[in-house]
Amino acid sequence: MKKLAAFILIIIMGTGFAYAQQAIKGSVYEIDAAGKKVPLPFANVYWEGTTSGTVSDEKGSFSLPDNAASARLIASFVGFTNDTITINSHSRQEIILRKGSDLAAVNITEKLEGSFISKIKPIKTEVITVAGLQKLACCNLSESFENNATVDVGFADAVTGARQIQMLGLAGVYSQLMVENIPFTRGLGSAFGLTYIPGTWMESIQISKGTSSVINGYESTTGQINAEMRKPWNTDKFFLNAYLNNEGRYELNAHASARLNERFSTLVLAHTSQQVLKNDMNHDGFLDTPLSSQINLSNRWSYEKAGVTESKFGINFLQDRRTGGQLIDHNTSDAITNGNYVMEVTTRRLQAYDKTGFMFKNRPNTSIGLIFSGLYHEQESMFGRTNYDARQLGFYGNAILQTGSPVHGVSTGFSLMYDDYDEVYADSSFSRVESVPGAFAQYTFTPNEKMNFIAGMRVDHHNLHGIMYTPRVHFKVNLFENTVLRSSAGKGYRSPSILAENTGMLVSSRQLVFREDFKLEEAWNYGVNITQEFNLTDERKATLTVDFYRTDFINQVVVDLDEAYNKVIFYNLDGESYSNSFQVDLSVNLFERFDFTAAYRLNDTKVTTAGALRERPLVSRHKGLFTMSYATRFDKWKFDFTSQYNGSTRLPEGIVLPEPHAGQTYSPDYITIHSQITRKFKKWDAYIGAENLTNFKQEHPVLGYDAPFADRFDAGMVWGPIFGRMFYGGIRYSIPHE
């Protein structure tokens, strides 16, 4: 009760903290009879292809958050011709509207790309839009990257259903996962957190490679994934999504928004998902997918006083239950009584947040942003005969002052990260408190629309590990009209949560060996990227992107699976650990409403384990991706196709594979194919699809399944799909605001 009371107190005391995104500011004018510019009040200003926008004030001035989903801003006013400008910098924008002739009503639409690379951001940022998220069923964040070559998603093990990502050849814990620039899956949330964000809740996903801005903290090493959620002021009045697949999984998502007045708006999001059928496609006696039940609720609020302040606040609640293991012929209690291997995990999660920004009318380039987030996360779990119970009480606060001119910008501020962990595994207790106050400063130089340079430094003090210095540099230049070169370099730190981040190792008979006290993980990341756009015709284009990133670890907590087949040994790095990642992407709008993407990625990732430098296990060296999308006129029908080639991965030494794979040291290559057809009606869509059409499955991903309490049992050696071909269908229904 004391911990819960402390959490509630943190929420009450922390509501002053929030955050303001970097804003695009400017003015809208008209030309009067004398040919002079006159401010045009109450004009609509919004991002092309989205419903994110604002209205100019009495003096024609406007301010709205930068939107990665578009680089083009549209201004409109009754009786005037719309004007569209391309935003290449954050300097103050000027839009002039001219009076138009009386015309009959005409609807003009433009196809929103499923994904693209932002042209204006100095950090290379791939954006997956709503259109991209709907190319597959996309039931949650972990299933949103199937048509993306940068992020790999796989199962952490063959029992719990936990998903994990890889980026630049390294585990997802080295990438900072955020929701609207608030850290999300830190600590205990790292195991199942990717399944805590429903796909229909998201407006876009932004994927940045390499180190991110120092404003967002010290943790990003290989990249950052930021999920932008649907906003209260531009979401449908009502939305419903229903999903069902042939394996017995169904989902329901419902959204409802209301605009209470010109300043207040609210949005309620509800999600429930159930896995009700028992599946055992490989006949090993273990469920391929755990039986599960999730309830996820969110209430988001927005307050905006144009040109003065903006505030976004809300609360999220989640309860997730999953049961797996040897339950094919038993219910849970009977299986436990019978001595079968049973996995149970129950998670409850409560989060409150508040983001507020203040603008100054007399200082157009100055603003203050505040952010607050409070978290309570508890987990009760059982793996076979071993219990793992954990609780995390967390707080995150960030205060930012932005000032300067359109050419020289300065951002300074301070932050605080606080986490109170209480973990019990078997008969051992692992409790700790981590408190990290920090300060940062960042300088931005934008001499013109073609060049941008950012240099930042932050200093943090970790109560257990001391002072951390985090320098980061980003550079962008438009070499030619359609050629963009970006580069970055910087350092990242991380304090690992060993048990939560290695749930796959808990579903085994391996003994956990902690050889020493762990130091902070510390690494440098360097990267370069070039993007070339080709104009095939006036309306069609192609984009070629090539990048290379290298990550060098100064220290790393090594998860050693090579030294002994029946142990997982954890220790600080003694030797080299690095990752090189090369990737090339080509996206082409071949003809009207038909697009395809082809990509190839090569990872060279090595780490010192058992005294030798080895290829990192369970990391695919090669990956290929090919996608196609076609839509008929007015998007009445949509056809989407995705194919992935996944290269072999090194298997840990000492594991014993069943016949006919005994003695193999690498997994086989494999190809997966996904496809979906969508039919659009006035207010609703219907979709059907199939995943893993090649029906490729990893044979017996549960090693030693016939003796789950013997020393050869291991369900954590997963490198490929666990279940085969799957079919699904669903509907989306929406009622827009009038």
Which range of 77-86, 220-229, 389-398, 420-429 scores highest in mean pLDDT? It is: 389-398
Please give the structure tokens belonging to residue 326: 């040897």
Q: Mapping DSSP to helix (H, G, I), strand (E, B) and coil, where does residue 13 land?
A: helix
Q: Where are the alpha helices (DSSP H) in 406-502?
A: 498-501
- Antiparallel, parallel or unpaired: β 466-480 and 451-462: antiparallel
Q: What DSSP element (H or E) covers 470?
A: strand 466-480
All residues at 6 or more sequence positions from 496 whose CB lies less than 8 Å from its CB, including other chains: 173, 518, 521, 557
> Buried b vs exposed e over 339-355: b needs ≥16 C-beta within 10 Å?
ebbbbbbbbebbbbbbb
Q: Which pLDDT score is estimated for 664?
A: 85
- Antiparallel, parallel or unpaired: β 72-76 and 37-39: unpaired
The backbone region for 475, taken as left when phi is positive above 0, alpha when psi lies in -120 to 50, beta otherwise, is beta
Q: Where are the domains of the chain?
A: 23-65+70-99, 228-735
Q: Which residues partner with 14 through β-bridges?
A: none
Distance CA 572, CA 201 (A): 39
More confident residue, 19 or 613: 613
Distance CA 60, CA 99 (A): 16
More confident residue, 591 or 43: 591
The CB density around residue 321, as the number of other CB atoms within 10 Å, is 16
Mean pLDDT computed over every residue of the chain: 88
More confident residue, 660 or 566: 566
- Antiparallel, parallel or unpaired: β 151-155 and 163-167: antiparallel
Please give the structure tokens belonging to residue 476: 């962008």
HSE value, Cβ hemisphere, 13 Å, CA-based, for 78 = 1
Q: Which pLDDT score is estimated for 185?
A: 84
- Tokens 């040994």, residue located: 569
Residue 3 has pLDDT above 70, yes or no: no
All residues at 6 or more sequence positions from 518 whose CB lies less than 8 Å from its CB, including other chains: 496, 498, 557, 570, 572
For residue 737, give the nearest of 129, 233, 377 by alpha carbon. 233
Calculate the CA 427 to chain-centre distance. Answer: 35
Residue 13 has pLDDT above 50, yes or no: no
**Correct CATH for 228-735 of 2.40.170.20, 3.40.50.10800, 3.40.50.2300, 3.60.110.10:** 2.40.170.20
Summarize pLDDT for 673-729 with one digit per residue, the tens.
999 999 999 889 999 999 999 999 998 899 999 999 998 899 999 999 998 999 999
Q: 397 — phi, psi (to 5°)?
A: -135, 145
How big is the CA angle at 248 (ends 244 and 251), to the nearest 5 degrees? 40
Summarize pLDDT for 419-470 with one digit per residue, the tens.
999 999 998 888 999 999 999 999 999 998 889 999 999 999 999 999 999 9
Residue 438 · residue 456 · CB < 8 Å: no
Residue 161 · residue 292 · CB < 8 Å: yes
Q: Which pLDDT score is estimated for 45?
A: 83
Summarize pLDDT for 39-57 with one digit per residue, the tens.
887 777 877 656 567 777 7
Q: Which pLDDT score is estimated for 64?
A: 77
Distance CA 389, CA 410 (A): 45
Q: Which pLDDT score is estimated for 24?
A: 81
Residue 239 · residue 732 · CB < 8 Å: yes
User: Is 228-735 the same fold as 23-65+70-99?
Assistant: no
Q: Which pLDDT score is estimated for 733?
A: 96
Summarize pLDDT for 133-152 with one digit per residue, the tens.
888 777 888 888 988 899 99
Q: Which pLDDT score is estimated for 69?
A: 52
Order of strands across the sheet that contains 163-167 = 151-155, 163-167, 170-171
For residue 153, give the nearest of 225, 138, 145, 622 by alpha carbon. 145
Calculate the CA 695 to chain-centre distance. Answer: 28
Distance CA 695, CA 725 (A): 5
Please give the structure tokens belonging to residue 639: 């056809």
Distance CA 563, CA 690 (A): 41
Mean pLDDT over residues 653-674, rounded?
Answer: 85
Residue 453 · residue 445 · CB < 8 Å: yes
- Antiparallel, parallel or unpaired: β 511-514 and 567-572: parallel
Q: Which region among 82-86, 296-300, 370-374, 407-411 has the lowest average model confidence (pLDDT)? A: 82-86
pLDDT interval class at 8 (50, 70, 90): very low
Q: Mapping DSSP to helix (H, G, I), strand (E, B) and coil, where does residue 416 land?
A: strand
Summarize pLDDT for 517-562 with one digit per residue, the tens.
999 999 999 999 999 999 888 778 999 999 999 999 999 999 999 9
Distance CA 45, CA 525 (A): 38
For residue 194, give the nearest of 242, 139, 249 by alpha carbon. 139
- Residue type for position 353: Y
For residue 683, give the nearest of 633, 731, 638 by alpha carbon. 731
Mean pLDDT over residues 400-408, rounded?
Answer: 91
Q: Which pLDDT score is estimated for 15?
A: 39
Summarize pLDDT for 309-351 with one digit per residue, the tens.
989 999 999 999 999 999 998 888 899 889 999 999 999 999 9
Q: What is the DSSP letter of 187?
A: G
Which class does domain 23-65+70-99 fall in?
A: mainly beta
Residue 388 has pLDDT above 70, yes or no: yes
Q: Where are the alpha helices (DSSP H) in 99-236?
A: 130-133
How big is the CA angle at 662 (ends 658 and 668), to the nearest 5 degrees? 95
Residue 112 has pLDDT above 70, yes or no: no
All residues at 6 or more sequence positions from 187 whose CB lies less than 8 Å from its CB, including other chains: 377, 392, 394, 419, 421, 497, 500
Residue 102 has pLDDT above 50, yes or no: no
Q: Which region among 29-38, 62-71, 592-601, 695-704 has the lowest average model confidence (pLDDT)? A: 62-71
Rounded to a whole number, what is the largest CA-CA distance in the chain?
A: 91
Mean pLDDT over residues 187-195, rounded?
Answer: 91
Summarize pLDDT for 285-294 with one digit per residue, the tens.
999 999 999 9
pLDDT interval class at 575 (50, 70, 90): very high
Q: Which pLDDT score is estimated for 79?
A: 62
Q: Which pLDDT score is estimated for 103?
A: 37
Mean pLDDT over residues 293-314, rounded?
Answer: 92
Residue 50 · residue 70 · CB < 8 Å: yes
pLDDT interval class at 33 (50, 70, 90): low
More confident residue, 658 or 369: 369
